[in-house]
Every structure is written in C-alpha cells, then in structure tokens.
C-alpha cells in the first residue's frame, strides 16, 4: 500500500526543523488542501500525509512554512527571503512510497525523492 511522507532538515543549524507547518494540496481544476501538519522534534510529520485509498495518481504540492520557522529560529533578518516553499510533484503509482524531504537554510533549499 502506498503512502506519502516528508521531513525537514535545517542545514544551517545541522538539525531537524521542528515545529514547521506543512500543508498538502492536490492540484487540479479546483486545488484542494488535503491536510495541514507540523513537524515533530525529528523534523518529520508524524505518520503519512496520505496513504491507502487516499493516495491516488495526480499532481500534489507540499507547502512548507519556512519563513515562520526561520523567524523563530534564525531571527527576523533571514526570515524574509523564503516565506512559503512550494514543492510540486507527481504521483504515478498509488502503490509506491513517496518521500519528499526538504533541506532548508535561510537563503536556499533543496529536495529530492527519498525512500
């Protein structure tokens, strides 16, 4: 059974990014917010964002509230550059595990399909 998971690492501080808000949208004619969650002390959203029958092929977007997180952890000066970081991706097979991590610093970010 497939599932979608995520985690966030703060590469500037060398630790998980805890307390970051993450929204999940399914994109289409009428974009639909499917969930909103917060990363835990390990930088992970507890449990799967989608799994089982809720996970279906389509285009999705994770929206990471990086600016709010940086305002709390790095100060006002670095919180204005990255506000919300959207990561748009496709799910082709509802049977696979899709892990979409975010590596973030005050002035840049990176992502990849994890395992």
The domain segmentation of the chain, as residue ranges, is: 3-111
The order of strands in the sheet holding 32-38 is 32-38, 21-27, 58-64, 85-91
Q: Is the pLDDT of residue 76 over 80?
A: no
Give the pLDDT confidence score for residue 45 in this predicted structure.
96
CATH number of 3-111: 2.60.40.180
Q: Convert the pLDDT of each residue in 45-71 to its tens digit.
A: 999 999 999 999 999 999 999 999 999
Supply the pTM of this predicted model: 0.94
What is the chain's Cα-based Rg?
A: 14
Give the pLDDT confidence score for residue 94 in this predicted structure.
92
Work out the average pLDDT over 103-110: 95
């Amino acid at each position: 059974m497939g599932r979608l998971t995520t985690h966030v690492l703060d590469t500037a501080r060398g630790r998980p990014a805890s307390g970051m808000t993450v929204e999940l949208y399914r994109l289409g004619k009428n974009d639909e917010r499917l969930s909103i969650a917060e990363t835990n002390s390990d930088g992970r959203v507890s449990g799967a964002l989608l799994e089982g029958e809720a996970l279906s092929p389509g285009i999705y977007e994770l929206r990471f509230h990086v600016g709010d997180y940086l305002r709390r952890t790095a100060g006002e000066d670095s919180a204005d550059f990255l506000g919300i970081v959207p990561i748009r991706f496709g799910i082709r097979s509802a049977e696979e595990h899709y892990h979409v991590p975010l590596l973030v610093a005050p002035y840049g970010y990176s992502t990849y399909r994890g395992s």
